[in-house]
Amino acid sequence: MDKNSKLRPLYIAKILYELTDEDHCLTTPEIISILESEYGITGYRTTIAADIELLTEFGMDIEVIKSSSNMYHMVSRLFDQPELKLLIDAVGASKFITCKKSRELTQKLSSLASRKHSDTLLSHVHIDGRVKPENESAYYIVDAINEAILKKKKISFQYSRTTLGKTRQLRFNGMHYVFSPFDLVWHGDYYYMIGVLDKHTDISCFRVDRISKQPNILEQDSSPIPDEYDPNEVIYKSFRMYSGHTETVELVCDNTLVDAIIDRFGKNVDIIPYDDGTFGVKVNLAANHVFFSWIFGFGGKVSIKAPEGVRNDYREMVKKEYTKLFEKHSDG
């Protein structure tokens, strides 16, 4: 048996994987023609049938439709088309993945479908114009952090911020942070690294796409993870309304805002229906400017019922903002 004959089953598998699906079949003569024209391999009706039987025994899910020329197609794949669509859309929407990498990933994901389905999947991908980062090294940064977490080693990295001119600038004159990473967490379209800074005990979070380049993995062992450490609790308290002193706040909301409340506080929040087209919720949070701005954004559809101190703080914030706005326009 020559080399090409030995490889023929593999090329048939490739042809079926790329060119067939539940909507598109290939006949035996079509498979023979593709083998000869694209790969220079000779095939016959009997050898094609035997090769496909071998592939089926190996575990490939190939359906044979009996006819004068027999038709074949792949039945199942690693991912179904709807699953690939979800993954491709997630890549396109991600603010962590750059435009260049998004295109590469969508191409790779679409290649898991047949060519016909791949073309359909790619025709609905719209990446340009979306908010995307420019840090192409983010993937290597994630890989280095993961390696450090697995090896329980400290890392050294530089952190950056965006200037008014929209350029990246290293913080603290390019200071190298020494950090013990505990976890990588996906939150609000971004990756965050959770751990402790050297010579500190408080848990810190750093956004991965703001790390300037691939961190150095140090020889030093990471600081031990505290017994009470809970990454979900860290995320809950570190972002938006949950940093600082927290307390129970009672809100009264318009009935049209149930989705908004659940999106913000989760499905476990207790909702108390009222008879006037509103409902009440009690949530534990830090009553800071982020929370007040969130309340204000609903244009009166959310009000603070208790505690009185938080109600007063909110009133004061609104008064100050209106005073600033009035003075600004008066001066103009």
Same domain, yes or no: 222 and 248 = no
Half-sphere exposure at residue 6, Cβ-oriented, CA atoms within 13 angstroms: 3
Task: Determine, yes or no, domain membership for 135.
Answer: no
Same domain, yes or no: 322 and 244 = yes
Say what the pLDDT of residue 300 is: 87
CATH (domain of 247): 3.30.70.240
Same domain, yes or no: 286 and 317 = yes
At 297-306, the pLDDT tens digits run: 888 899 999 8
Alpha-helix runs per DSSP H in 183-307: 231-238, 258-265, 289-296
Say what the pLDDT of residue 135 is: 64
Same domain, yes or no: 162 and 188 = yes
How far apart CA 137 and CA 135 sit, in angstroms, is 5
Task: Determine, yes or no, domain membership for 128.
Answer: no
Same domain, yes or no: 30 and 60 = yes
Say what the pLDDT of residue 161 is: 83
Say what the pLDDT of residue 205 is: 86
Task: Determine, yes or no, domain membership for 198.
Answer: yes
Partners of residue 221 on adjacent β-strands: 153
How far apart CA 218 and CA 220 sit, in angstroms, is 5
Say what the pLDDT of residue 3 is: 55
Spatial contact of 157 and 216, defined as CB atoms under 8 Å apart: yes
Task: Determine, yes or no, domain membership for 131.
Answer: no
Task: Determine, yes or no, domain membership for 275.
Answer: yes
Same domain, yes or no: 171 and 245 = no
Same domain, yes or no: 245 and 322 = yes
How far apart CA 35 and CA 283 sit, in angstroms, is 65
At 183-221, the pLDDT tens digits run: 998 877 778 899 999 988 888 889 888 898 899 999 999
User: DSSP class of residue 43?
Assistant: -
Task: Determine, yes or no, domain membership for 137.
Answer: no
Contacts (Cβ under 8 Å, ≥6 apart) of 168: 134, 160, 161, 162, 212
Distances (CA, A) of 268 to 104, 251, 260, 264: 38, 16, 14, 11
Residue bearing tokens 């200071």? 175
206: containing domain: 143-226
How far apart CA 96 and CA 211 sit, in angstroms, is 12
The pair of three-digit structure tokens given for residue 140, joined into one six-digit string: 């290597």
Same domain, yes or no: 247 and 323 = yes
* Last residue within a domain, chosen from 39, 74, 109: 74
Spatial contact of 17 and 117, defined as CB atoms under 8 Å apart: no
- What's the number of domains the chain is made of? 4
Say what the pLDDT of residue 217 is: 96
Same domain, yes or no: 245 and 324 = yes
Task: Determine, yes or no, domain membership for 233.
Answer: no
Same domain, yes or no: 33 and 66 = yes
Contacts (Cβ under 8 Å, ≥6 apart) of 7: 41
0.85 exceeded by the pTM? no
Partners of residue 204 on adjacent β-strands: 195
How far apart CA 154 and CA 215 sit, in angstroms, is 10
* Last residue within a domain, chosen from 74, 97, 115: 74
Task: Determine, yes or no, domain membership for 136.
Answer: no
Please list the ranges in the chain whose pLDDT falls under 50: 1, 241
How far apart CA 116 and CA 155 sit, in angstroms, is 46
At 118-135, the pLDDT tens digits run: 888 777 666 555 556 666
At 258-280, the pLDDT tens digits run: 988 887 887 788 889 999 999 99
Same domain, yes or no: 219 and 250 = no
Same domain, yes or no: 51 and 91 = no
Residue bearing tokens 């939150």? 187
* Last residue within a domain, chosen from 160, 192, 226: 226
Spatial contact of 8 and 43, defined as CB atoms under 8 Å apart: yes
Spatial contact of 97 and 190, defined as CB atoms under 8 Å apart: no
